[in-house]
A and B are shown apart, each in its own frame.
Chain A
């Protein structure tokens, strides 16, 4: 079994963040399939949503590692990751529309 060293409060916060990230990842996967591959600028839109997916995966992995092994979550990587995702999502939807 994996040793859990986190407090319940940190773990709850981790679960919420992971849930949010999974929703973002699911939406971006949906968008990947919705992009018209022959439309103008479709490659850029596709690439941006793919990047959103990858950053979400990286953040979920970080949260899992930090919560279960270190017992704490640093704010800086989370804020940086969220800002990056926000930028990519806005750019992606802008191009999509």
Chain B
């Protein structure tokens, strides 16, 4: 190594060194997604030599790759599985970043760039799915294009024109092909360069608990070459071998060719990464006119994620002080997983409103309950109304004889807290569900919808006020609110 280094100057530090604690796979999920992107570029480039993007030849040329080209099936399988891995790694990267608050100052723009890269990655999945022109891919893509029509008008027309063109099959396939192999890779590469530049400027994010508690060895800065580069080579090689093994165990097989006659007999189902959205759209309340409401809800979730750095403006990054955001993130992950699994198990089956409220509300309830119990057991409280380290002086020991009532045993208190939280979240889920139904009914012009909606909103307001009061009561035991009021009066003491 020294020989190469002395000749090529590899250890000459052009890039910012990384801290030793970043030698951990969770810090490099984005890098692994990039490796998956590179593998897709290579395998996709080889397939481009044979593939013809025309409705009459797309399936035949794909079949030719599968059956005649040397290692064609292996190539197709690797291309598909690295695409899946890229989407999964991007999602893991997103959620890991969310939970450890990498979106906070000064990485806000980096977060937004990463989110846009995530959408481009989903775009790869959507556009690439159609290219083999199988019954599965064409039917699922038609469902996706149909959903675009339910968006607000200028957006719907623009998106439909962008992906479908004149509306013929030939135009649609060619648009998808161009987007998949030219436009989206170019956009992703530009965004990748921008994100890498920002990573170079800000460096790897510190652990949520800060670097003070780390050992000097963990804090030590190590050069990108050879230490970090070699570590990335290890991760990339292991990732590659894992994908190869999975593709050996589960080789891909080509579905029948698309034909309008066959399409009528086939239940359209998107690929797994869009199943959760598809399952939401299958809820009875969101059928027909309600589709726009459902798409608006999904869009709002994405918008909230994109602009998260400007919504979650608290300075603390410690998980034990971010109960609300950690619980919301866990609910999001749980709901996406449940919806995807549920969609996989019930293809083409409409979901009654009551079942949807029960399953989705139950999942949210369960996760909230687990979160409350975990916070109380692991961190000793929900960490609400407390400031980060160094912001507030620790409470002084009370030397006066206390007249407070005898403390409730911890187990009983935890049970009581959990039960009240379950009741409040159940009420909240019920009123949210009713409010959404009310909005949908209003759109459909249902009689008496206004009264029902007002009642639901009233109930929701009452639940929110009750929750706030409950949290206030909970926090009285820790004295944090009292300290906060005192801090308001006399100012923060460093």
Tell me if chain B binds chain A: yes
Known: A2-B2, A37-B70, A69-B227. A54 touches B238 (CB 8 A): yes
Chain B residues with CB below 8 A from A69, complex form = 222, 226-227
Binds A, one of B229-237, B288-296, B385-393, B429-437: B229-237
- B472: interface (CB < 8 Å): no
Say whether B234 contacts A58, CB under 8 Å.
Answer: yes
Say whether A57 contacts B248, CB under 8 Å.
Answer: no
The 6 closest A-B pairs by CB, nearest first: A37-B70, A58-B237, A54-B241, A51-B241, A65-B230, A54-B237
- A79: interface (CB < 8 Å): no
- Which of B71, B74, B238, B241 has the largest count of A CB atoms less than 10 A from its CB? B241
Say whether A65 contacts B238, CB under 8 Å.
Answer: no
A–B complex contacts, Cβ < 8 Å, 15 sampled: A1-B5, A1-B6, A2-B2, A2-B5, A37-B71, A44-B248, A47-B244, A50-B244, A51-B241, A54-B241, A55-B238, A57-B233, A58-B238, A58-B241, A61-B231
Say whether B11 contacts A61, CB under 8 Å.
Answer: no
**Segment 210-252 of B: residues with Cβ below 8 Å from A:** 222, 226-227, 230-231, 233-234, 237-238, 240-241, 244-245, 247-248, 251
How would you classify the secondary structure of chain B's contact residues: helix, strand, loop or mixed?
helix
Say whether A57 contacts B222, CB under 8 Å.
Answer: no
How would you classify the secondary structure of chain A's contact residues: helix, strand, loop or mixed?
helix
A positions within 8 Å CB-CB of B: 1-2, 37-38, 42-44, 46-48, 50-51, 54-55, 57-58, 61-62, 64-65, 68-69
Partner of A55, one of B5, B6, B71, B241: B241
Known: A2-B11, A69-B227. A61 touches B233 (CB 8 A): yes
B positions within 8 Å CB-CB of A: 1-2, 5-6, 11, 70-71, 73-74, 222, 226-227, 230-231, 233-234, 237-238, 240-241, 244-245, 247-248, 251
Say whether B244 contacts A54, CB under 8 Å.
Answer: yes
Say whether A61 contacts B245, CB under 8 Å.
Answer: no
Chain B residues with CB below 8 A from A54, complex form = 237-238, 240-241, 244
A42 to B6, CA, bound (A): 43
Chain A residues with CB below 8 A from B230, complex form = 61-62, 64-65
